[in-house]
């Protein structure tokens, strides 16, 4: 990976705009998550919203190798990440992560949220809540002079103290003109280790937390990642700017004002 880019004030302004756009898209799409809806229907809505309403483009579409075939990732129940939208209807009690990335004017905005499909079990809600808490603990560790290890340690403590495990093969990432830039942001680690944070860095914090063991497998499609023990997995993702005094979350929901 290349060196970590420190964003200029102009680039930070663009990244604020892109962060707002992706958060607005998640606000918009949330209303369609209900039993009977297919993830393909959600995917079409995402494409239409990014392109026709927001004037951007879904960055996941045709990204990577093999080229990712859809406009967003929809990870249901035991799918950890990169679930490919399909024609299977969502059912009551499912949990769903929707991961969106919009590209516009040469910049990217990337965020994901968990959604409950109808009424879900308390054990599923607890996993969702603890995963959000894990992400927020990681975000709260961000400030100039802190390290990437501080972020990973904070995420890991919350998850493991709740009896869950942290996926280690996938991580957060720098973002800006590229979808994925340096640094890699692990969601486990040791305090004081790794890259020292500086104002102007922008990266995602996106812990993937499993109800059971951390082990995973990747399906033959080359993208879909599932828990090996088929137990539930949850993920939240925000984009964070290192400021002079701490952090700024660039992907807060405009609808609720909450991260």
Binding positions for a divalent metal cation are 99, 110, 173, 206, 237
Provide the 8-state DSSP code for 105.
Answer: T
Both structure tokens of 103: 């590209």
Q: Which residues contact 49 (CB under 8 A, 6 or more apart)?
A: 25, 28, 29
| Feature table: binding site | 82, 99, 110, 173, 180, 206, 237
H/E segment holding residue 156: helix 148-161
Instruction: Label residues 19-54 b or e (16+ Cβ within 10 Å = b).
Output: bbbbbbbbebbeeebeeeeebbebbebbbebbeeeb
Q: Which residues contact 21 (CB under 8 A, 6 or more apart)?
A: 54, 56, 102, 104, 109
Give 3-state DSSP helix, strand, coil % of the chain, rounded to 5: 25, 25, 45
Residue ranges with strand state E in 82-211: 95-104, 107-116, 165-166, 172-174, 181-185, 202-205, 208-210
| Feature table: binding site for substrate | 82, 180
Give the largest Cα separation in the chain, rounded.
48
Compute the CA torsion angle 47, 49, 50, 53 (nearest 10 deg). Answer: 140
Interatomic CA distance for residues 167 and 227, integer angstroms: 9
Angle between helix axes 122-140 and 148-161 (nearest 10 degrees) is 160
């Amino acid at each position: 990976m290349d060196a970590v880019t420190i964003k200029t004030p102009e680039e930070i302004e663009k990244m604020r705009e892109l962060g707002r756009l992706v958060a607005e898209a998640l606000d918009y799409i949330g209303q369609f998550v209900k039993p009977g809806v297919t993830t393909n229907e959600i995917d079409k809505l995402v494409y239409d919203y990014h392109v026709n309403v927001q004037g951007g483009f879904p960055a996941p579409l045709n990204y990577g190798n093999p080229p990712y075939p859809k406009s967003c990732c929809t990870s249901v129940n035991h799918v950890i990440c990169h679930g490919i939208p399909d024609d299977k209807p969502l059912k009551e009690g499912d949990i769903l992560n929707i991961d969106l990335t919009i590209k516009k004017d040469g910049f990217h905005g990337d965020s994901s949220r968990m959604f409950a499909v109808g009424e879900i079990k308390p054990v599923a809600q607890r996993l969702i809540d603890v995963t959000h808490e894990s992400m927020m603990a990681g975000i709260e560790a961000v400030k100039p002079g802190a390290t990437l290890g501080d972020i990973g340690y904070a995420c890991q403590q919350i998850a493991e103290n709740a009896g869950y495990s942290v996926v280690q093969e996938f991580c957060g990432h720098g973002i800006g003109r590229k979808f994925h830039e340096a640094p890699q942001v692990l969601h486990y680690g040791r305090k004081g280790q790794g890259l020292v944070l500086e104002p102007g860095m922008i990266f995602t914090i996106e812990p993937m937390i499993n109800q059971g063991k951390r082990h995973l497998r990747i399906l033959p499609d080359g993208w879909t990642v599932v828990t090996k023990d088929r137990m539930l997995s949850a993920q939240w993702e925000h984009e964070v700017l290192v400021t002079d005094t701490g952090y700024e979350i660039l992907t807060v929901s405009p609808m609720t004002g909450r991260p």
